[in-house]
Amino acid sequence: MVIISKIELEAPDSLKYTDVGYTTDEAVKNEINEGFDATLGKFLGENRTKLNLGEVSVSTFFETTDFVNEARTEVETVDGLGLSKINNVNEL
């Protein structure tokens, strides 16, 4: 079981992570993470040094993107978390 998190800009240079659901479907998890890797993940990787030096801000990425999702937190149970099961990325 994997928790799906929504990542968005909360304030300049500050990201907000919100758990929005979970999935047990490996294909859904992979599709979400491939989307993250191709967008925010790619931006962070390509700009790591500039981000550390303060030459680039993560808010630059969010000028054209409202949010991205990530599905990397594996858990044994979601009991008590109030999360819905996501069977298709279109449900996000």
Give residue-wise pLDDT tens across range 55-79: 999 999 999 999 999 999 999 999 9
C-alpha closest to that of 22 among 90, 76, 71: 71
Amino acid identity at 55: E
Domains of the chain: total: 1
For residue 81, being part of any structural domain is answered with no
For residue 69, being part of any structural domain is answered with yes
Q: Are 86 and 23 in contact (CB under 8 A)?
A: yes
Domain that holds residue 19: 2-76
Q: By percentage, how much of the chain surpasses pLDDT 90?
A: 97
For residue 24, being part of any structural domain is answered with yes
For residue 6, being part of any structural domain is answered with yes
Q: Are 60 and 22 in contact (CB under 8 A)?
A: no
pTM: 0.92
All residues at 6 or more sequence positions from 62 whose CB lies less than 8 Å from its CB, including other chains: 8, 9
Residue 80 is given by DSSP the state T
